[in-house]
Amino acid sequence: MTNNSTHSEANDTGTTKRKHIIIGAMFRAVGAYPSGWRYPGAHHDPHDDPEVIRATALEAEAAGLDYIFFGDWLATGPDLEFRDPYLAARIEPLSAVGFLAGITSRIGLIATVNATYSDAYTLARISASIDRLSGGRLGLNIVTGAEPRAAANHGRDAHWGNEQRYDSAEELIDALRLLWDSWGDGALVANQESGHYLDPSKLHRADFRGAHHPVAGPLNVLRPIQGHVPLVHAGTSQRSRHLVHTRADLALLALPGIAEAAAVTKTLRTEAAANGRNPDHVKSLTPVLPIIGSTFEEAWEIHDFLASRVPVSPGPHDDREGFPATRSLAVLGEAIGLELAQAELEAEVTVDDAARFNQHGEHLLDLTRQRSGRIPGTARPVRWRDILVNHLVPYSVVVGTAAHIADYLQAWHEEGGVDGFNILTPFLGEQFEHFTRGVIPELRSRGLFREAYQGSTLRDHLGLTVPVNLHDATPVESTTVTGPVGAGARA
């Protein structure tokens, strides 16, 4: 067991058991809610991103969060204004965490990289360098890409299919780990008196052969402080799940409810063990977007403001360039089983209307009640806009007081079995501070989040051990720590 006593404890069988919740901040400069940038006082201009990145990371570190997480997108266009404005113009993730390595001192720094368009040697150099420069705080979120426009931006005719993308991702991870392990213990001698600088027998070539990421090595950067940089992955396909079970340290899981969370996290640990891994070393995280007020009424008003500014259309066609066809009442009608061609966005949903909703429509009504306190036929009526917006916003939006948000996280952790949460902030500024200065102290008062950092690396924060060097380990040890080698193999 490492020095992560605040994150884990030994039970009667001697295995590791999670004790405290993992909490990271998902950085989205102009807000995770599609209209968050329009809230008064919210950060809304990417020209100011460097200062906002700095301020957000320092606020997160002062609160003791485990990491700050930078996503990515490899293309842009006018459609993103309506779907996800935070994607339109953003700082490249590895550059962002490199920037923060010298500004912060304790918080983990997770950057997203696209395996489909990455070079193994270059990524190994950059990631090992940042890990050493940050004192062992880097993590990598491995994605395979869902943006077809990215292919042309990287000199390709078409975006690869799912199977080819995951072949590439698994190869990339295997190649990275062999490259990171190039320098065995004692490989760098640096004896000034004898003039002996290297022990060549401990400087290892990767000699990794694969269809997508063949690489010779050795790497010309010392082994990362964490041994292997912790890896994150999200996805629902069979290949995505296989990558998580065999190679990832953190699994990002978008889950519809606590019962599903309990089943998925149980399966995650079972499959990790079946692949020769310690199931306690594969952590499950789920995204949450809290909207926080001092009272429920205040939180509802914030949500109502944001919902009123989401760009939607009453009809099936909209002349705005790039406007998604899905953002209309016509499409909502198909989803809830009603004809809405004549409906008006701001008109009330009557009790009779609600009675005719299908199962998905009833779910949207329930979401609307939870997020805004609105119920058909009451003093806070439901509008068609409310139903449409809640249909469009896919995140786990939780609206209420700091104590209510803490209740939600506690239930998902204790009943759903998830290890932690990626916190999405609707807009940067006061909402992030409401979380760090309101929800975090509430969790601490319940004994659910540690009082202070207990270790210095991201692995320490997550309760993960440092893996043995693959070049020095036996095949059994190698499989136990890192999962089996996939599409590629060593020569």
Q: How far is CA 481 from the centre of its chain?
A: 23
* pLDDT at position 323: 86
Q: Which of 261, 260, 280 is nearest to 270 (CA)?
A: 280
* pLDDT at position 489: 56
> What DSSP letter does each residue of 283-308 carry, written as one string?
EEEEEEEEEE-SSHHHHHHHHHHHHH
Q: Which residues, 6 or more positions from 32, have their beta carbon under 8 angstroms from its beta carbon?
A: 26, 86, 289, 395, 424, 425, 426
Which one is predicted more confidently, 150 or 258?
A: 258
DSSP 338: -
Which one is predicted more confidently, 488 or 261?
A: 261
Instruction: Evaluate if residue 285 carries a pLDDT over 70.
Output: yes
Identify the H or E element spanning 400: strand 397-400
Q: What is the mean pLDDT of residues 438-450?
A: 97
The residue ranges of every structural domain in the chain are 8-292+399-490, 311-392
Instruction: Evaluate if residue 32 carries a pLDDT over 70.
Output: yes
Instruction: Evaluate if residue 2 carries a pLDDT over 50.
Output: no
Q: Where is average pLDDT lowest: 283-287, 299-303, 326-330, 431-435?
A: 326-330
Q: What is the mean pLDDT of residues 282-306?
A: 97
CATH for the 8-292+399-490 domain, from 2.40.110.10, 3.40.50.720, 3.90.420.10, 3.20.20.30: 3.20.20.30
Helix 402-414, helix 258-274: angle, nearest 10: 40
CA distances from 307 to 294, 300, 386, 438, 470 (A): 19, 10, 7, 24, 51
Instruction: Evaluate if residue 8 carries a pLDDT over 60.
Output: no
Instruction: Evaluate if residue 58 carries a pLDDT over 60.
Output: yes
How high does pLDDT run on average in the chain?
90
Q: Which residues pair with 394 in a beta bridge?
A: none
Choose from 54-63, 84-93, 392-401 the range with maximum mean pLDDT. 54-63
pLDDT > 90: percent of the chain: 78
CA distances from 155 to 116, 150, 161 (A): 12, 9, 16
Name the band, by pLDDT with cuts 50, 70 and 90, for residue 18: very low
Instruction: Evaluate if residue 187 carries a pLDDT over 60.
Output: yes
* pLDDT at position 146: 77
Q: What is the mean pLDDT of residues 11-31?
A: 71
Choose from 17-21, 60-64, 154-158, 470-474 the range with maximum mean pLDDT. 60-64
pTM: 0.91
How many C-beta neighbours within 10 Å does residue 61 have?
A: 21
Q: What is the mean pLDDT of residues 236-265?
A: 93
